[in-house]
Amino acid sequence: MLFDAAEIARRVDALAGEIARDIRGDLLAVVILKGSFVFAADLIRALERAGLSPQVDFITLASYGAGSESAGRVSLVRDLSEDVRGRTVLIVDDIVDTGRTLKFAREELLGRGAAAVRTCLLLDKRAKRNVAIEPDYVGFAIEDRFVVGYGLDLAHRYRGLPYIGVVVPTTP
């Protein structure tokens, strides 16, 4: 266990407070699926408690590669339904690793005419970054370890764990 449910809940509330202090008025939260659906559900409700009521839309991006390593190619699997032109957008994702997904999403939204794009990441695995991008809001900075739970998967499973855990390899 890296972060338990209570620790995550406290941090998500604090993040929502920071965001609500910085951003006023119209906001479109763009949730990057699949991994961030659990974080986003909690963050959106925390934002509401903090006095900010964003619209919400979803985009599915995937970075393809073998096993736990992302290979460097980001593809758009399912698009937004909203027009982002002129909007202030908050990208919500579970983890930034190499940074490619976040960079792709940010450039895509700016390219479509978003007025401003802010980024909120629950986890930041800084050691793995290989493109220049820094998220605006970060829940927890973590070491280079493979994490699961609270939306994050291992081979498409364990997304429903209420905590974030580190995968420990077992010997056969």
- Binding mask 61-80 toward ligand PRP (x if CB under 6 A, else -) reads -xx------x----------
Decide: is 108 part of the binding site for ligand PRP (CB under 6 A): no
| Euclidean distance between CA atoms 3 and 124, whole angstroms | 14
Set 42, 93, 97, 124: catalytic member: 97
Kindly provide the residue ranges of all beta strands, DSSP E only, lying in the chain, ordered along the sequence.
28-33, 55-64, 73-78, 88-96, 116-124, 137-141, 147-148, 165-166
Please identify, using beta-carbon distances, which residue of 67 and 172 lies nearer to ligand PRP.
67
Choose the binding region for ligand PRP from 7-15, 42-50, 82-90, 95-103 (rule: CB under 6 A): 95-103
Where is 105: in which H helix or E strand?
A: helix 100-111
Q: How far is the CB of 27 from ligand PRP (least distance, A)?
A: 20
Output phi, psi for 159, to 5 deg: -65, -25
List all residues 6 or more positions away from 62 whose beta carbon is below 8 Å from its beta carbon. 74, 75, 77
Is 97 a residue of the active site?
A: yes
Choose the binding region for ligand PRP from 43-51, 78-86, 100-108, 112-120 (rule: CB under 6 A): 100-108
Choose the binding region for ligand PRP from 4-12, 18-26, 87-95, 107-115 (rule: CB under 6 A): 87-95
Decide: is 90 part of the binding site for ligand PRP (CB under 6 A): no
Decide: is 119 part of the binding site for ligand PRP (CB under 6 A): no
Tell me if the bond preceding 34 is cis, omega within 30° of 0. yes
Residues 58-76 as b/e (b if ≥16 CB within 10 A, e otherwise) read bbebbbeeeeeebeeebee
Decide: is 34 part of the binding site for ligand PRP (CB under 6 A): yes
Q: Where in the sequence numbering do the catalytic residues fall?
A: 97
Binding site for ligand PRP (CB under 6 A): 32, 34-35, 62-63, 70, 93-102, 153
